[in-house]
Chains A and B, each alone.
Chain A
Amino acid sequence: MTEVRKPVQDLLTDYDIFEPEFVKDPYPSFSEIRESGCPIARTERYEGSWLPTRYEDVVAIAQEYETFTSRGILVVPPFPGQGEGAYGGVTAPPITSDPPDHHWHRRLILPVFSPQSVAKFEQGTRDLCNALIDEVIDKGTADAAADYAQHIPVRVIATLLGVPLEMESDFTAWVRAALENIMDAEGRKWARKNIIEFFLAQVADRKQNPREDDFITELMNTEVEGKVVPIEYVLGVCNLMLVAGVDTTWSAIGSCMWHMAQHPEHRKQLRDNPDLWPTAIEELLRVYAPVTMARIVDHDVEFQGCPMKAGDRVLMAFPAANRDPRQFENPDEVILDREHNRHVAFGSGIHRCAGSNLARLEVRVALQTWLERIPEFELVDKTDVTWAGGQVHGPRKCLVKF
């Protein structure tokens, strides 16, 4: 990226989601916008977008799928010559689908992610976490992001998809190019090409050799209204599983590790009261919601006084919504047994994250396993933590000692 970043003049009219301070800690900016007289900010950067920060507005937009469509879901526009879609014309159903197709696009994958279905990944995830901890436990120090969090979701998703675990580092590189370094057009193209070619080969292989109990084989053979689903749908779903299932959950696990490293009282609270785990995970997901999606305005509309035009991009800042004091008491505080928590870390409405049950299982098992083996740990240097931001927020380097 050669662009010289112009300083932000006014958050309300010129926010910059890739500004380094915003990437690291977007919450003060969200709060400033939210408490101004203008809680939906506007920027002309990256071809322009709107940024609602109040819970009520974010949820209302998520519910209005006919006005705020999912034709484009990335926080920046596609590059010239590429269509909208997950990245550059390659769709990722159902996240990039609108009704009526959205209905069957989503219905086909939901059973894979029901609580009953994802339970079978718990032991494997625990074994994987233990193996990662084995690698670091005698060293007395580790990078909680790069040595631990980063390796968990990618291996779980590869297992679910039935693709080679040895390719973990390729998958991770593709996903980061697709979602994190999204201002790099060449990187995005490279990622798209690799992901699609990879899954095309996986599909071709299964055509020759159908597999038993295999997600991709079953998806390829699924019929909707008497017809086998199109190959574009199969590729799109695989694309989504990889891109949406890796960076996001890894970011959530990383943020939780960063939090736990700094809060011995919360480690103790969970040790003393293990029944608190499910509620605690929801609270951590509220405070450290990793994902911001986008919507594309279908037709000119005035929303909360903002003149939104057809084609405008609206950033669904779920992390901002989750810290709205109108909805959550003491929103910046982690209260592990919070009583009222209608958080929208997984979105809201028809595009609610389909993989949420798997994601929360991974976050819980990753934290539980670490805390069992390494109950006491702390950050090596608070000032030496690096973050990814924009579409997905979470630590990328987070050294801890124990």
Chain B
Amino acid sequence: MRVSVIDDACHGHQMCAIAAPEVFGSDDLGNATVLISGDIPAELQAKTRRAESNCPERAIVITE
């Protein structure tokens, strides 16, 4: 599993970082950043899916 954020769609709700703080962070403006480059470890995949399903802007893309 890999994850990315569509920069133009993210408006900094930070709900991804609340759901999966190990996977998502914040830049200086409060917009989402992905902290893990490459594959998301198995133990964080459920949290990552949860982050996706909590983003009001649907800005998170998961590819498997």
Residues of A at the B interface (CB closer than 8 Å) are 59, 107, 110-111, 113-116, 278-279, 282, 339-344, 346, 348-350, 352, 356-357
Contact = CB atoms under 8 A, between A and B. Distances in A.
Contacts of A113: 30
A114 B25 CA distance: 10
A59 B55 CA distance: 13
Contacts of B13: 346, 352, 356
21 contacts: A59-B56, A110-B12, A110-B30, A114-B28, A114-B29, A114-B30, A115-B17, A116-B28, A278-B18, A340-B54, A341-B53, A341-B54, A342-B15, A342-B55, A342-B58, A344-B56, A346-B13, A350-B11, A352-B11, A352-B12, A356-B14
Contacts of B45: none
Interface residues of B, number: 20
B2 interface: no
B57 interface: yes
Nearest to B12: A352
B11 A342 contact: no
Q: Which 9 A-B pairs have the closest CB atoms?
A: A114-B30, A352-B11, A110-B29, A340-B53, A342-B56, A278-B18, A115-B26, A111-B28, A341-B54
Contacts of A115: 14, 17, 26, 30
Given A114-B29, A279-B18, A352-B11, 13 more contacts: A113-B30, A114-B28, A115-B14, A282-B18, A339-B53, A341-B53, A348-B56, A348-B57, A349-B11, A352-B12, A356-B13, A356-B14, A357-B30
Contact of A116 (B11, B26, B50, B54): B26
Nearest to A341: B54
